């Protein structure tokens, strides 16, 4: 006991190192970006310290509204598809043998870690006239004059799905694989039809988890950069691409920072919602 | 019976969607022709040879791996300390450090990238590999934090008490008792951060994209300005390393368990 008391007072020092690192290299850059968002643009340097709200005012223009709307629609659609497909995958995988489960976990983890760039490149090849689906369809004489299927909305969405799939499944996996199967078996024993069993018993068990996965993916897809630029056309570019364009290609850091701040505020709202959902979930589990 | 079959078909279809693009890239990378084409007419490793002997690719590989190695050390150390602090004493300080460590995961990468680039520009390290390394190391702290905390949650406090009572100093207890037990989680964290860092595009491109070309940046730039099968070789080499490391990790860490799957005895 004495050893524990002796070390007690020094315990907080250990927490200070990670705290300092995170504050310096994560919080400070975020704070500095907030400051830059009210600076004046200066083509000679990056920016000039000032306090102007012009950068924020620019957001309230039809152009940015339509970009925002497009970002939301794309992120929402992607998150919906991925959550649905991912949920069924996890549901079925969790009943497979241990060996197959390990195969899936490694496959999903690999995808989770694999570069957006590499995934986009693989899809680009898949949709290309020279080596992918168009060539296969032509070979099967199903398509007379094949051409590449990118850039297109569909190709980009395929990219979203492939990118987000691992996140959704790995998020849902713990809960789904540890679910109380006795409930489903009881309902089955009572003669509930499979479709009804799924809608009334299985699905409600994961309502909160599914919503959490959806929001996480939504936030993630708002920030996707490589998929729209590599697989989509200019008509598919989202807010992230526009921020990169303003900040890097057009050297307007303050405008980029202001747009990023607006996006951050939105993310914070969604994150708060997610935390609240988590708490709900814990209350339900208890 | 039919339902089980339908389920299998669904799963195989999903697996096919996730794997076929890479199978085609692998085919393209083995085709000796100059143009990207699939299926390959003959098989050759020429593009892989070109990738590892070409100066530009060598530099990109070196950049990516050196940044990833140090970033993984940094992220794992920070996560280890934060998780240890929380395990030792559950105070508002240790809890806020933990929460702060989870935050970068929730922020879209474009925002982290923009923040990092204005920060490093102000500090004077914009365009330096050290800036990218440190940003990777700090911003990818979340997964190690979660994984190492899971390691601490299985650590039996009685063993630690026994060590303390036997007269071991806190440092001795940490290095001789705690560290060996949570080592698999630390190694897994290191591997995962290294993989994420090697694969990351947006943050490295914002901080030092013009001066330090990493593998993803090189691939992205090449795709934009016309590409050759070397790119396919690079992409598939990349995927192979990623999968290889994860398979290796799976030998000493139960990944299914780590990612929350049910324990074997739970399965019917």
Band of residue B260 on the pLDDT scale cut at 50, 70, 90: low
Q: What is the pLDDT of residue B81?
A: 94
Residues contacting residue A76 through CB under 8 Å, at least 6 positions apart? A218
Residues contacting residue B108 through CB under 8 Å, at least 6 positions apart? A219, A220, A222, A223, A240, A263, A264, A267
DSSP letter for each residue of B54-94: SHHHHHHHHHHHHHHHHHHHHHHHHHHHHHHHHHH---HHH
CB contact under 8 A, A114 and B242: yes
Partner A, chain B 188-207, Cβ-Cβ below 8 Å? 192, 195-196, 198-202, 206
In angstroms and rounded to an integer, the radius of gyration of the C-alpha atoms of chain A is: 24
Least reliable range by pLDDT among A163-172, A204-213, B12-21, B29-38:
B29-38
Residues found in chain B = 268
Structure tokens given for A81: 């598809």
CB contact under 8 A, B239 and A110: yes
φ and ψ of A181, to 5 deg? -70, -15
Band of residue B97 on the pLDDT scale cut at 50, 70, 90: very high
Band of residue A204 on the pLDDT scale cut at 50, 70, 90: confident
CB contact under 8 A, B262 and A46: no
CB contact under 8 A, B81 and A135: no
Average pLDDT, chain B: 87
Q: Where are the beta strands (DSSP E) in chain A?
A: 40-41, 47-48
- Mean pLDDT in residue range A74-90: 95
φ and ψ of A40, to 5 deg? -90, 145
Of A106, A124, A177, the CB nearest to B246: A106
A179 SS3 class: coil
Band of residue A9 on the pLDDT scale cut at 50, 70, 90: low
Structure tokens given for A172: 């849902």
Closest CA in chain A for residue B158: A1
DSSP letter for each residue of A53-67: -HHHHHHSSHHHHHH
Of B8, B74, B82, the CB nearest to A15: B82
- Report d(CA A270, CA A212) in Å as an integer: 10
pLDDT top residue among B122 and B265? B122
Residues found in chain A = 286
Partner B, chain A 242-281, Cβ-Cβ below 8 Å? 243-244, 247-248, 253, 256-257, 260, 263-264, 267, 271, 274
Assess B18–A contact: CB distance below 8 Å, yes or no.
Answer: yes
Does domain A55-285 bear CATH number 1.10.3720.10? yes
B88 class by beta-carbon count within 10 Å (0-12 exposed, 13-18 middle, 19+ buried): buried
The sign of the CA dihedral A275, A178, A113, B19 is negative
A151 SS3 class: coil
Q: Where do we find the tokens 């043998």? A: A97
The sign of the CA dihedral A83, A86, A88, A94 is negative
Least reliable range by pLDDT among A3-17, A83-97, A136-150, B80-94:
A3-17
A47 SS3 class: strand
CB contact under 8 A, A29 and B118: yes
Band of residue B119 on the pLDDT scale cut at 50, 70, 90: very high
CB contact under 8 A, A15 and B93: yes
- Quote the CATH superfamily of domain B55-227: MetI-like (1.10.3720.10)
Q: What is the pLDDT of residue A52?
A: 81
Least reliable range by pLDDT among A1-5, A115-119, A214-218, B138-142:
A1-5
Band of residue A3 on the pLDDT scale cut at 50, 70, 90: very low
Residue A94 has pLDDT above 90, yes or no: no
Residue B262 has pLDDT above 70, yes or no: no
**Residue A260 · residue A244 · CB < 8 Å:** no
φ and ψ of B225, to 5 deg? -110, 45
B93 SS3 class: helix
- Mean pLDDT in residue range B237-257: 82
- E strand or H helix at B223, and its extent? helix B215-224
> Comparing C-alpha atoms, which of B213, B218, B247, B243 is closest to residue B231?
B218
Structure tokens given for B46: 């020429």
Mutation site for A-interface testing, chosen from B21, B65, B88, B133 by largest number of A Cβ within 10 Å: B21
ipTM of the complex: 0.85
- Per cent of chain B over pLDDT 90 is 39
**Residue B135 · residue A33 · CB < 8 Å:** no
Band of residue B181 on the pLDDT scale cut at 50, 70, 90: confident
Residue B104 has pLDDT above 70, yes or no: yes
Least reliable range by pLDDT among A95-99, B78-82, B119-123, B191-195:
A95-99
Assess A230–B contact: CB distance below 8 Å, yes or no.
Answer: yes
Structure tokens given for A247: 């900040």
Residue B266 has pLDDT above 60, yes or no: no
Could you count the other beta carbons within 10 Å of the beta carbon of residue B92?
7
- Mean pLDDT in residue range A246-274: 86
- Mean pLDDT in residue range A211-240: 90
pLDDT top residue among A83 and A12? A83
- Report d(CA B47, CA B27) in Å as an integer: 12
- Three-state SS for chain A is CHHHHHHHCCHHHHHHHHHHHHHHHHHHHHHHHHHHCCCEECCCCCEECCCCCHHHHHHCCHHHHHHHHHHHHHHHHHHHHHHHHHHHHHHHHCCCCHHHHHHHHHHHHHHHHCCHHHHHHHHHHHCCCCCCHHHHHHHCCCCCCCCCCCCCHHHHHHHHHHHHHHHHHHHHHHHHHCCCHHHHHHHHHCCCCHHHHHHHHHHHHCHHHHHHHHHHHHHHHHCCCHHHHHHCCHHHCCHHHHHHHHHHHCCCHHHHHHHHHHHHHHHHHHHHHHHHHHHHHHHHHC
CB contact under 8 A, B256 and A101: yes
Give, as one character, the DSSP assignment of residue B126.
T
φ and ψ of A273, to 5 deg? -60, -40
Express each pLDDT in B25-80 by its tens digit.
Answer: 888 888 887 777 777 777 888 888 888 888 989 999 999 999 999 999 999 999 99
Express each pLDDT in A174-190 by its tens digit.
Answer: 888 888 888 888 888 88
φ and ψ of B229, to 5 deg? -65, -15
Residue B108 has pLDDT above 90, yes or no: no
């Amino acid at each position: 006991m004495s050893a524990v008391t002796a070390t007690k007072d020094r315990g907080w020092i250990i927490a200070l190192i990670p705290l300092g690192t995170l504050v310096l290299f994560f919080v400070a850059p975020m704070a500095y970006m907030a400051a830059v968002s009210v600076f004046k643009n200066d083509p000679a340097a990056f920016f000039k310290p000032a306090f102007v709200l012009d950068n924020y005012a620019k957001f309230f223009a039809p152009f940015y509204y339509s970009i925002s709307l497009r970002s939301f629609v794309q992120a929402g659609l992607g998150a919906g598809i991925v959550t649905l497909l991912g949920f069924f995958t996890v549901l079925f995988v969790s009943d497979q043998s241990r060996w197959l489960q390990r195969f899936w976990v490694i496959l999903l983890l690999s995808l989770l870690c694999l570069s957006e760039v590499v995934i986009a490149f693989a899809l680009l090849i898949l949709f290309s006239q020279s080596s992918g689906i168009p060539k296969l369809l032509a070979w099967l004489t199903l398509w007379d004059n094949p051409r590449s299927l990118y850039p297109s909305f569909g190709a980009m969405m395929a990219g979203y799905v492939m990118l987000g799939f691992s996140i959704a499944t790995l998020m849902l996996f713990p809960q789904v694989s540890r679910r109380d199967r006795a409930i489903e078996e009881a309902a089955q024993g009572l003669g509930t039809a499979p479709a009804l069993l799924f809608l009334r018993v299985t699905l409600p068990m994961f309502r909160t988890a599914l919503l959490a996965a959806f929001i996480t993916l939504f936030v993630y897809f708002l920030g996707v950069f490589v998929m729209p630029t590599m697989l989509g056309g200019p008509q598919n570019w989202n807010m992230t691409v526009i921020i990169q364009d303003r900040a890097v290609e057009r050297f307007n850091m303050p405008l980029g920072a202001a747009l990023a701040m607006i996006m951050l505020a939105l993310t914070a709202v969604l994150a708060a919602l997610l935390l609240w959902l988590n708490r709900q979930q814990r209350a339900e589990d208890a | 019976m039919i339902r089980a079959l339908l389920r299998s078909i669904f799963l195989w279809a999903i697996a096919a969607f996730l794997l076929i693009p890479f199978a085609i890239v692998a085919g393209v990378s083995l085709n000796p022709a100059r143009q990207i084409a699939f299926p390959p007419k003959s098989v050759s490793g020429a593009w892989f040879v070109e990738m590892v002997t070409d100066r530009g690719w060598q530099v990109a590989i070196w950049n990516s791996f050196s940044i990833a190695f140090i970033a993984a050390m940094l992220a794992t150390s920070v996560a280890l300390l934060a998780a240890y602090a929380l395990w030792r004493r559950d105070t508002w300080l240790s809890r806020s450090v933990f929460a702060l460590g989870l935050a970068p995961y929730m922020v879209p990468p474009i925002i982290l990238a923009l923040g990092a680039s204005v920060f490093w520009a102000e500090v004077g390290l914009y365009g330096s590999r050290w800036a990218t390394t440190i940003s990777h190391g700090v911003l990818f702290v979340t997964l190690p934090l979660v994984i190492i905390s899971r390691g601490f949650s299985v650590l039996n406090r009685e063993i630690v008490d026994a060590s303390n009572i036997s007269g071991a100093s806190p440092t001795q207890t940490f290095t001789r008792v705690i560290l060996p037990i949570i080592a698999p989680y630390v190694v897994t964290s290191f591997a995962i951060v290294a993989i994420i860092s090697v694969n990351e595009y947006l943050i490295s491109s914002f901080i030092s994209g013009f001066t330090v070309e990493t593998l993803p940046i090189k691939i992205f730039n090449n795709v934009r300005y016309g590409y050759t099968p070397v790119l396919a070789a690079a992409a598939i080499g990349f995927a192979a390393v990623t999968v290889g490391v994860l398979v290796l990790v799976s030998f000493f860490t139960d990944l299914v368990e780590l990612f929350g799957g049910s324990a074997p005895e739970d399965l019917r």
